[in-house]
């Protein structure tokens, strides 16, 4: 209990709602970090955690990152995140999953729009269709159900703009045919990004823990490296598109890249890692800025009713935002993470 109390008193967010599913004992946490720019929105993560405090900590941290992300791209929402903390590691399927998602939807609905759900780890657009049966506060349903569908392809488009921006800054040219880009994680975002990079004639190196994904990359003619070797492989741009925490005190000294620009959330293990990258002269595109294409796709198309052309203009804006953060960090002698946080926090008031 003490850990929970410490957690609650250390957080600067606005609200936390907790619901317990009686049938399975599953705890559901909805964390609302800020409603300063609008009602909260963010993904719903379905995962087993060792303790309820671990689940809550994850939700709080991710909700704060959502506030920074929305503020960075001036999108009219506050940061929120939900965690469905499964009592066992097995992910439910079939009727059990459907029942749990409907229960979760009713929980979201009970908050009256304070928070709107979207997909995240282990939840998909098809799950949003089920959640929508019991709440109207949900983004990114399938296109068949009238939603914006999968966010990964447009997240990849935003990351590509960010990669071009760091290349323009570091190498003086955003011509990707001159560059080697290593993509760590060839999943929804990374897989699309690899295709976009190949279309731009970049030299691409791919890494994944899934041997089937590596095989498909090789069939496309992409050079692959073992997942464990990815971070220390020589390249111009490293693009982390797998898991968080990959940039830390152990990995940073071994990096052999000039820039880092990828989709993964929470790439830095601690804030000090941003300074470690800066001292090594590695240009880092802050994750919560460069991976904002997903929220632009969901919220822009579904809520703000952007046309495809308008969405493309906003996605290109991610490159401009990354470039101005790189400039500001250099001007002020601070890390790019600190510069990006400064801009977002000023907007959060």
Distance CA 113, CA 335 (A): 36
Total residues at the site for ligand NAI (CB under 6 A)?
24
Counting contacts by CB under 6 A, is residue 127 touching ligand NAI?
Answer: no
Residue 128 binding ligand NAI, by CB under 6 A: no
- Stretch of 80-88, 241-249, 314-322, 340-348 contacting ligand NAI, by CB under 6 A: 241-249
* Shortest-Cβ-distance residue relative to ligand NAI: 187
**Token duo for residue 101:** 């998602």
**Binding flag, residue 188, ligand NAI (CB under 6 A):** yes
Which of 116, 291, 335, 336 contacts ligand NAI by CB under 6 A? 291
Of 111 and 190, nearer to ligand NAI (C-beta) is: 190
Would you count residue 186 as binding ligand NAI (CB under 6 A)?
A: yes
Give the separation between CA 282 and CA 259, rounded to whole angstroms: 5
Please list the active-site residues: 81
Answer yes or no: are the C-beta atoms of 258 and 283 closer than 8 Å: yes
Q: Minimum distance between the CB of residue 255 and ligand NAI, rounded to whole angstroms? A: 15
- Least separation in angstroms between residue 127's CB and ligand NAI is 14
- For the bound state, the minimum distance from the C-beta of residue 81 to ligand NAI, rounded and expressed in Å, comes to 11
What single DSSP character describes residue 227?
A: G
Residue 205, judged by CB atoms within 10 A of its CB (0-12, 13-18, 19+), counts as buried
- Asked if 294 interacts with ligand NAI (CB under 6 A), we say yes
Name the 3-class secondary structure at 338. Answer: helix
Separation of alpha carbons 183 and 261, rounded Å:
9
Sole window of 12-20, 103-111, 128-136, 263-271 interacting with ligand NAI (rule: CB under 6 A):
263-271
Check binding of 185 to ligand NAI (CB under 6 A).
yes
Taking the C-alpha atoms of residue 214 and residue 13, their distance in angstroms, rounded to an integer, is 40
* Strand order from edge to edge, sheet including 115-119: 15-20, 27-32, 78-86, 40-48, 115-119
| Those residues with Cβ within 8 angstroms of residue 251's Cβ, 6 or more apart along the chain or in another chain | 231, 232
Binding site for ligand NAI (CB under 6 A): 151-152, 155, 184-190, 207-210, 213, 227, 241-243, 263-265, 291, 294
């Amino acid at each position: 209990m003490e850990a929970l109390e410490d957690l609650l008193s250390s957080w600067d967010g606005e609200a936390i709602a907790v619901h317990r599913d009686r049938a399975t004992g599953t705890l559901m946490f909805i964390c609302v970090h800020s409603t300063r720019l609008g009602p909260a929105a963010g993904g719903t993560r379905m995962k087993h955690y060792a303790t309820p405090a671990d689940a809550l900590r994850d939700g709080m941290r991710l909700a704060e990152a959502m506030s920074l992300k929305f503020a960075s791209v001036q999108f009219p929402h506050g940061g929120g995140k939900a965690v469905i903390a499964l009592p066992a590691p097995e992910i439910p399927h079939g009727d059990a999953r459907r029942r749990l998602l409907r229960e979760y939807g009713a929980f979201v609905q009970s908050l009256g729009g304070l928070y709107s759900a979207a997909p995240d780890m282990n939840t998909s657009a098809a799950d949003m269709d089920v959640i929508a049966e019991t709440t109207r506060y949900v983004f990114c349903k399938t296109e068949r159900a009238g939603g914006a569908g999968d966010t990964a392809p447009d997240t990849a488009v935003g990351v590509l703009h960010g990669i071009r921006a760091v290349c323009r800054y570091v190498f003086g040219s955003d011509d990707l045919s001159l560059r080697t880009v290593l993509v760590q994680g060839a999943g929804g975002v990374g897989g699309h990004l690899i295709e976009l990079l190949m279309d731009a004639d970049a030299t691409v190196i791919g890494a994944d823990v899934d041997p089937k994904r590596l095989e498909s990359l090789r069939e496309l003619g992409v050079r692959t490296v073992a997942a464990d070797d990815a971070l220390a492989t020589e390249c111009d741009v490293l693009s982390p598109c797998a898991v968080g925490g990959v940039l830390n005190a152990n990995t940073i000294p071994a990096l052999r890249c000039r820039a880092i620009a990828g989709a993964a959330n929470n790439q830095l293990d601690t804030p000090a890692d941003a300074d470690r990258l800066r001292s090594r002269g590695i240009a880092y595109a802050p994750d919560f800025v460069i991976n904002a294409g997903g929220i632009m796709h969901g919220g822009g198309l579904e809520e703000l009713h952007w046309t495809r052309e308008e969405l493309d203009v906003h996605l290109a804006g991610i490159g401009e935002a990354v470039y101005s953060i790189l400039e500001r960090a250099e001007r002020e002698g601070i890390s790019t993470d600190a510069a990006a946080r400064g801009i977002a926090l000023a907007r959060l008031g």
